[in-house]
């Protein structure tokens, strides 16, 4: 698993002094992936990502837990098990029609081999994104989160993420968030640790929200 070395982090802080000050103030970033994400299968992680889309964390966790409880054990159903469950049963757990369709598409692709989860981690970022976005309900952002938080890829910059944009706005003292194109240019200095910079941008955005609460 890739690791952000002390030397690499120091070089990043030196290349971007503003970011370096934030890194020093907010402290070290956690390891990617966290143990819970590391233990999850690729299928379960992607399914969880679909369930959690556009929902508050607590509501999403409740629905995800209900789906997990539909089969034996405490884990998310396997692709075979999920496909064996009726629409009414899955809808009763709280899944929307769109998410139900996405989960069925994901399950079918894993089972028939259109999405090969084994060996996926050995592919490059762009190829992984290309394969994942072919699944219904998985867009570039979800694929990028998979790269960062499931595979631990260190050089991923989600330029369309509002939290990263807001963090960059705060970092540079801007009056408005940078556009994706502007953020891509601004973040060029963060390579090859763009994921690290993104994590700090999220923390800056969270910190601003908490100050207003």
What CA–CA distance (Å, rounded) separates 115 from 106? 8
**Are both 119 and 84 inside the same structural domain?**
yes
List the catalytic residue out of 155, 161, 172, 206.
161
**How far apart (Å, rounded) are the C-alpha atoms in residues 19 and 65?**
38
Q: What is the rounded CA–CA span in Å between residue 197 and residue 167? A: 10
Which of 115, 105, 104, 124 lies closest to 42, judged by CA? 115
pLDDT tens for 92-141 read: 999 999 999 999 999 999 999 999 999 999 999 999 999 999 999 999 99
What are the tens digits of pLDDT across the range 145-199?
999 999 999 999 999 999 999 999 999 999 999 999 999 999 999 999 999 999 9
- Among 150, 167, 195, identify where a domain stops: 150
In a domain, 1, yes or no: no
**Catalytic residue list contains 161:** yes
CATH of the domain at 141: 1.10.340.30
Same-domain check for residues 129 and 185: no
d(CA 35, CA 48): 16
pTM to 2 decimal places = 0.92
């Amino acid at each position: 698993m890739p690791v952000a070395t002390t030397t690499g982090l120091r070089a990043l802080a030196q290349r971007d002094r503003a970011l370096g000050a934030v890194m020093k103030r907010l402290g070290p970033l956690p390891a990617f992936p966290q143990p819970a994400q590391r233990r999850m299968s690729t299928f379960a992680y992607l399914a969880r990502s679909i369930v959690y889309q556009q929902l508050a964390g607590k509501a999403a966790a409740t629905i995800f837990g209900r789906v997990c409880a539909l089969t034996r054990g405490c884990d998310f159903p396997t692709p075979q098990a999920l496909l064996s469950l009726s629409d009414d049963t899955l809808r009763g757990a709280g899944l929307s029609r769109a998410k139900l369709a996405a989960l069925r598409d994901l399950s079918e692709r894993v089972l028939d081999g259109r999405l090969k989860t084994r060996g996926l981690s050995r592919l490059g970022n762009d190829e992984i994104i290309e394969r994942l976005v072919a699944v219904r309900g998985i867009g570039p952002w979800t694929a990028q989160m998979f790269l960062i938080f499931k595979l631990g890829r260190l050089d991923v910059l989600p330029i369309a993420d509002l939290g990263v944009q807001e963090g960059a706005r705060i970092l540079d003292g801007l009056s408005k968030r940078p556009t994706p194109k502007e953020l891509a240019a601004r973040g060029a200095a963060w390579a090859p640790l763009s994921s690290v910079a993104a994590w700090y941008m999220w923390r800056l955005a969270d910190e601003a929200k908490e100050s207003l609460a």
